[in-house]
Amino acid sequence: MIERLAVIGVGLIGGSLARALRANDAVGEVIGCGRSIEHLERAQALGVIDAYCQDPGKAVANADMVFIAVPLGAIAGVFARIQGQLAEQAVITDGGSVKGSVIADAVQVFGEIPSWFVPGHPIAGTERSGVEASFPELYQNRRVILTPLAETDPQAIERVRAMWERVGSEVTEMSVAHHDEVLAATSHLPHMLAFGLVDALTRLGSNDEIFRYAAGGFRDFSRIASSSPEMWRDICLANSEALTAMLTRFGSEMTELSDAIRRKDGEALLRIFGRARAARERYV
């Protein structure tokens, strides 16, 4: 049971965790923290948080659990504001989509890897943002990856694991580098393809006509291009190495496909499509 949870960044990810913990009677009081009073008032009116303040340092005072769910570019600033303000037994975790950059921010601000910080990433989300988009079932039957380091206190890891399990998630642990490589392939690359596809079509001109004939396949594929541009800018900048490596590999795949089409090589096309379909049916 968490007595006092501080959620820094009460949007889709932070708001959904607060709602889910409440729905499972796993939290006493929830304090929200963010930049906009208007959004925080909305979060309070929706019953996501009990109280709010705009200063992360004040929000974390007396909290036994702190969840940081701001865009990656804002995490270092939050660390700086909570430094020296934490309660003695407090555990801090986050939901940032890239882990290497968050850990680098922690080292830069705190001068070391803090033992009470458990880096995390819920593999759950939608293309929508803000507290209005949050819902209590978001984490049910979803995975959460924790990337603790040698310095991380095992008890802190256990408390964060227990919190995610209470809201129905399956918790796994991974190294930081492995997390960032895996997510570059399975999440960050597909978002680049969706943004890139819609942008390329837009730049073909006569958009009305192009999008008028876009059917179900296009709708499915392009859904994630409605995701927050600022959030995705931050993810790209934070995971640039792993993501550019994936984009280069994907570029080779597109060249191979394009060459096969130009050669009218039906065998090669069947090989590529068959391999992809079998993999999707097996794993997705």
Task: Report, in Å, the least distance between residue 213 CB and ligand NAD.
Answer: 29
The correct pick among 100, 120, 125, 148 for binding ligand NAD (CB under 6 A) is 125
Q: What H or E segment, with its residue span, contains residue 117?
A: strand 117-118
Of 19-38, binders to ligand NAD (CB under 6 A) are 33-36
Tell me the C-alpha distance between 230 and 73, whole Å: 9
The correct pick among 59, 90, 93, 96 for binding ligand NAD (CB under 6 A) is 96
Q: How far is CA 2 from the centre of its chain?
A: 22
Contact characters 97-116, ligand NAD, x per CB under 6 A: x-------------------
The correct pick among 2, 5, 11, 222 for binding ligand NAD (CB under 6 A) is 11
Task: Report, in Å, the least distance between residue 264 CB and ligand NAD.
Answer: 40
Adjacency order of strands within the sheet including 2-8: 51-53, 27-33, 2-8, 65-68, 91-94, 117-118
Three-class SS state of 76? helix
Task: Report, in Å, the least distance between residue 155 CB and ligand NAD.
Answer: 25
The region of 22-30, 72-80, 176-184, 202-210 touching ligand NAD under the rule CB under 6 A is 72-80
Torsion from C-alpha of 36, 41, 42, 44, nearest 10 degrees: 130
CA dihedral for 14, 132, 140, 283, sign (positive or negative): negative
Cα–Cα–Cα angle for 39, 44, 48, rounded to 5 degrees: 100
Nearer to ligand NAD, 185 or 272 (CB): 185
Task: Report, in Å, the least distance between residue 230 CB and ligand NAD.
Answer: 8
Residues lying near ligand NAD in the complex (CB under 6 A): 8-14, 33-36, 39, 69-72, 74, 77-78, 95-97, 121-122, 125, 129-130, 228, 231, 235
